[in-house]
Structure 1
Amino acid sequence: MTLVQIADFARADHLAVLGAFHTDAEDAALGLGTLILLGPDEPGFWHYVTAQTEFTDSTPNPLDRWSHRTITALARRLGGTPYFPFGTPVRPFITWALRSGRAWVSPAQLLVHDTAGLFVSYRGAILVPGELDLPPPPPKPCESCATKPCLTACPADALTANGYDLPACHAFLETKDGKTCMTQGCAVRRACPLARTYPRVDAQSAYHMAQFHK
């Protein structure tokens, strides 16, 4: 089994391989193998996933439930073990993303991905046995981003010298001016040049913002 073959299997459910790395002796809780990070395959992810049964049965957390069902089934097919960024125990997905060589901490201190930009999101991961051949890591996109618009895009001024001001962000989202962020996604994420070309629909961003700002 190759990473390309696994990506083809995942694509059947509109999932994309967003990175992978070989585990080592420090990953005793996981075991040795290759951990593959999965996220939305765009374009078309939201149209596909919202047509699934989890979005029509009026039960909470449809996206997480779909992710669990779909990625668990794929893990069985691959003879691997699934992991998720929701539920317990809490898994270190940000650390895993950084280890994949395809995600970095952006100037805005949010995770940035080589293709999804600041719109990167992970639906799960699968640990498969053995060390698969992995492509070399791409360059960090922020290094060639001259203007770094993410640093000045926040209308709530929630990105401060002391870190992310979460209360200021939530307070802004309650205002009339916060409607655009609620319906189209975080202004900082939208400002990222990679995110501007990433075909994520507004309805998907609105769903995530509603989950964030409850």
Structure 2
Amino acid sequence: MAAGSADESLAGALAAHGLMARGGFVFDDDEAAPAGPSGAEATAVVLVGHAGSAIWPHFSRWRVAQPAALADPLDCWSRATIGTIAKRFSARAVFPFEKPFLPFQRWAMRAEGLKPSPLGILIHPEYGLWHAYRGALLFETRVVEARPQAMIHACDACVEKPCLFACPADAVSATRHDPDACLAHLRSGRGGACLGRGCLARLACPVGAGWRYDDAQQAFHMRAFAGAPVDR
């Protein structure tokens, strides 16, 4: 994004909700870009996400005021929060959970120079596996392209690779991640440790350990993935 007060204001607007800009880029001239706020092709995208549990207090306070049976509450919070910020900055908000699905992981790799871990999650050299992309802002005004620095892939530098041996469902290997095996384990009655503590393979990764999600946040994500009831 271009330097200046507008960027600083966007950073502040996101930070007020525990969010942050996770890099961005200008679409190539010959690239089919999604529509921006007016319906014309967007010229640039800025990824919006978080690291660690920065969003959790904000989401938790919002959640208390919502109906107990609200479906996909974190997605609802993301849509409401990022959507409001998008209007303020003349952008279109898009989300990784909405159809037609947009290439969020490819955008994220392009914006921040990250690569996938054996768990399928992009691994960050500082945050490890404890980060996420909650949405993106599409702009129709060209902004300065942020060229990500070439980052060292943390998994390549990891010798012991404890994540490959920590999964009780054998859903993680050096060559694949099997979400169906993970889901079957969680629903089998043997997945209590994972549901209560979070993904054991993810917890085994030593990178970014200081950014690990709070226990409540980890349990929320695991129970949501398993289709189990989540606490308010």
Report the identity percentage. Answer: 35
2:230 matched to which residue of 1? none
RMSD, matched Cα: 2.5
Q: Tell me, in whole angstroms, the C-alpha distance in 2 between the residues paired with 1:170 and 1:88.
A: 22
Q: Write out aligned runs for 1:181-200 (5 A).
A: 181-200=194-213
1:130 matched to which residue of 2? 142
Q: Tell me, in whole angstroms, the C-alpha distance in 2 between the residues paired with 1:61 and 1:107.
A: 26
How far apart are residue 157 of structure 1 and its match?
0.9
Q: Tell me, in whole angstroms, the C-alpha distance in 2 between the residues paired with 1:54 and 1:104.
A: 36
How far apart are residue 132 of structure 1 and its match?
2.7
Q: Tell me, in whole angstroms, the C-alpha distance in 2 between the residues paired with 1:133 and 1:92.
A: 18
What do residues 80-131 of structure 1 show as CA deviations (whole Å, max 9, x unaligned)?
1111011222122111111113421124443223333223321110023212
Q: Tell me, in whole angstroms, the C-alpha distance in 1 between the residues paired with 2:174 and 2:88.
A: 47
Q: Tell me, in whole angstroms, the C-alpha distance in 1 between the residues paired with 2:43 and 2:64.
A: 31
Asked if structure 2 preserves the Cα contact closer than 8 Å seen for 1:72 and 1:82, the reply is yes
How far apart are residue 180 of structure 1 and its match?
1.9
Structure 1 residue 212 corresponds to structure 2 residue 225: yes
2:169 matched to which residue of 1? 156
One-letter amino acid of the structure 2 residue matched with residue 18 of structure 1: R
What do residues 142-196 of structure 1 show as CA deviations (whole Å, max 9, x unaligned)?
3333322222221211125773333322232235552221122211221222342
Asked if structure 2 preserves the Cα contact closer than 8 Å seen for 1:150 and 1:188, the reply is yes
Structure 1 residue 11 corresponds to structure 2 residue 12: no
Query: 1:66 and 1:193, CA in 2 relative to 1: closer, same or farther beyond 3 A?
Result: same
Query: 1:161 and 1:197, CA in 2 relative to 1: closer, same or farther beyond 3 A?
Result: closer
Query: 1:166 and 1:49, CA in 2 relative to 1: closer, same or farther beyond 3 A?
Result: closer
Asked if structure 1 preserves the Cα contact closer than 8 Å seen for 2:48 and 2:134, the reply is yes
1:21 matched to which residue of 2? 25
2:50 matched to which residue of 1? 40
How far apart are residue 199 of structure 1 and its match?
4.1
Asked if structure 2 preserves the Cα contact closer than 8 Å seen for 1:54 and 1:63, the reply is no
One-letter amino acid of the structure 2 residue matched with residue 6 of structure 1: L
TM-score by length of 1: 0.85
TM-score by length of 2: 0.79
Aligned residues: 214
Structure 1 residue 92 corresponds to structure 2 residue 97: no
Query: 1:200 and 1:162, CA in 2 relative to 1: closer, same or farther beyond 3 A?
Result: closer
Query: 1:176 and 1:88, CA in 2 relative to 1: closer, same or farther beyond 3 A?
Result: closer
How far apart are residue 133 of structure 1 and its match?
5.0
Structure 1 residue 57 corresponds to structure 2 residue 57: no
One-letter amino acid of the structure 1 residue matched with residue 146 of structure 2: L
Q: Tell me, in whole angstroms, the C-alpha distance in 1 between the residues paired with 2:100 and 2:180.
A: 26
Higher mean C-alpha displacement, 75-84 vs 125-134: 125-134
How far apart are residue 11 of structure 1 and its match?
0.4
Q: Tell me, in whole angstroms, the C-alpha distance in 2 between the residues paired with 1:87 and 1:136.
A: 26
